[in-house]
Structure 1
């Protein structure tokens, strides 16, 4: 049976109430739909909720689906509207850089902020480096990179949706206008404003481009060097891996550091002195990362502490983002402790 006829049969069965047929229809799109929800909302947990809500809405509305667009387009329409509703009620996700200027010296007496919703990491397993369509501008991994998703959070919902649907997923302006119940003129205007904002906040070269230029061997070398520097308390090694303008942020901590002097002041007073470390290489948001497990003095177990994600430039670390909290390990499918 051809793929088209199989989909048509499942669509007919699903319309008649067959939830297994609906699951088969959704399965090939579920991973990308989830990534779309994450880009819109900046949180894996919010994306989980939004996708579940969107699929429930789609299931209930399926008998009214007339097939004037593809099932893919229709599902993205439902998911986008669901995310717009969620974004309106929950607000945008922030990064420490959004909250104030960088610190010049180490901060030891300030705890995490509990009244700010911070951007979270994203498990990139299953995402490809392919464009969603010939019209798309961004690869799928580029479109979950930290700088891009953080910049998206500064856009109003309509601009965020228009940019993602057009530049990431390859929808036409007319399709987006139908999704957002507006005109193509409004869509084109939203696209223009969104692209300007993104261009002002996102580096010209994506991490995917930088990583391909560096090569896997150099990326592994940098990540392994960072792990060794923290585990051995080797400040000279760490300095050799950093750019002069490196930044280090630690959501949900509100403060952040800019410049190698400030970053090293933090490093030698906090991670290099707070206990013993074990690191597990991983990836998140299409970027190299380490799962960092800490064993404080007097303890016997290495427990989940942070996911340290790296932005690389010219073979060195230009930004470290430490997502603190064991919940981030769950997102990436990592254990809460290690030997």
Structure 2
């Protein structure tokens, strides 16, 4: 390779590496916008493609970070060109009785999906702590109620802390338009979030939270419904996307687990590095065909409220989600 070619390759590597340093925060932003971890990854990849193609025209009039956010916003707005919004089962209907028949599953584009912590958080603990609250499932679902441009403005201003002028530049509107849209977005969010499940940020250093999670694993794997219900908040919600069914309350959760959900008996929960800033597990159920073999059942994400569990989220699309979380498609105990 010629010296000119060597320099060109070096410049290419340096530019691409400068993009990569922003991958996680851009993925978190796109996830908040889109409600899908897979679409968020696609959006970031498309952002980098567009950024590379137009890099010669980037004159440094803004920071590289702001420029990439501007491109990511445009990518997300293109992807949100339609009326469909992602939701959680509790956003679509009231709770079901625990003996309800399972309804037909809905397509994956209906649901807010979980995102692995590793896709959304950097190595900086302070940065991760500040991001967790706005990656909660309830927050992401609430944001989906906003029109796409308001969604972008709310996230840029209140989550990412861009100024009104920076946000206006990225969206190519006036600062007055940004402030007006932000007020409308806040009003909508205040109404929607009144109905949202409350969850605390999870910290591995919080001994009470760690004990709560450990006690849940013990109760669930032993299928001890008495011990399990003692850990649950009075208005706990259990959901299982892609089924548009959910149940509320410890007694109803126990009845559901002993009825429709009894296939979960003797399950194994494999701890993950977390999802949406919350404790998460790869959930395997016993195989019907081979003793000693467990097969994928769900990515299970807990929501915590003080000393109780306020949400049990079982995401059943294991063919997509287990590879995303780096999990094998079978589990065997040694």
TM-score range, shorter chain: 0.7 to 0.9
State the shift of 1:274 in Å. Answer: 4.7
SS at 2:98's partner residue? coil
Cα distance in 1, alignment partners of residues 312 and 191 from structure 2: 20
Q: Which of the numbers 201, 224, 228 marks the counterpart of 2:214?
A: 224
Q: Which of the numbers 290, 304, 309 marks the counterpart of 2:281?
A: 290
Please state if 1:241 is matched with 2:231.
yes
Instruction: Note if contact 1:277-1:294 (Cα within 8 Å) is conserved in structure 2.
Output: yes
Unaligned runs of 5+ in 2: 1-6
Q: 1:204–1:291: structure 2 CA closer, same or farther, 3 Å change rule?
A: closer
Alignment: residue pair count: 318
TM-score for both structures, normalised by structure 2: 0.87
Please state if 1:153 is matched with 2:141.
no
- Listed one character per residue, the Cα deviations across residues 125-175 of structure 1 (whole Å, up to 9, x for unaligned) are 24445359xxxxx92222211111111111111111001111121211111
- Residues 120-129 or 176-185, more deviating: 120-129
SS at 1:110's partner residue? coil
Cα distance in 2, alignment partners of residues 204 and 99 from structure 1: 14
Cα distance in 2, alignment partners of residues 291 and 251 from structure 1: 15
After superposition, residues 1-339 of structure 1 pair within 5 angstroms as 18-89=11-82, 91-114=84-107, 116-125=109-118, 126-127=121-122, 128-130=124-126, 139-202=130-193, 207-208=200-201, 211=202, 216-282=206-272, 283-300=274-291, 301-326=293-318, 327-339=320-332
SS at 1:25's partner residue? helix
Cα distance in 1, alignment partners of residues 108 and 307 from structure 2: 37
Q: 1:299–1:270: structure 2 CA closer, same or farther, 3 Å change rule?
A: farther
- Residues 111-120 or 148-157, more deviating: 111-120
Cα distance in 1, alignment partners of residues 167 and 271 from structure 2: 39
Unaligned runs of 5+ in 1: 1-12, 133-137
Equivalent residue for 2:3? none
Equivalent residue for 1:8? none
Instruction: Note if contact 1:275-1:297 (Cα within 8 Å) is conserved in structure 2.
Output: no
Equivalent residue for 1:3? none
Instruction: Note if contact 2:102-2:243 (Cα within 8 Å) is conserved in structure 1.
Output: no
Instruction: Note if contact 2:117-2:276 (Cα within 8 Å) is conserved in structure 1.
Output: yes
Instruction: Note if contact 1:312-1:319 (Cα within 8 Å) is conserved in structure 2.
Output: yes
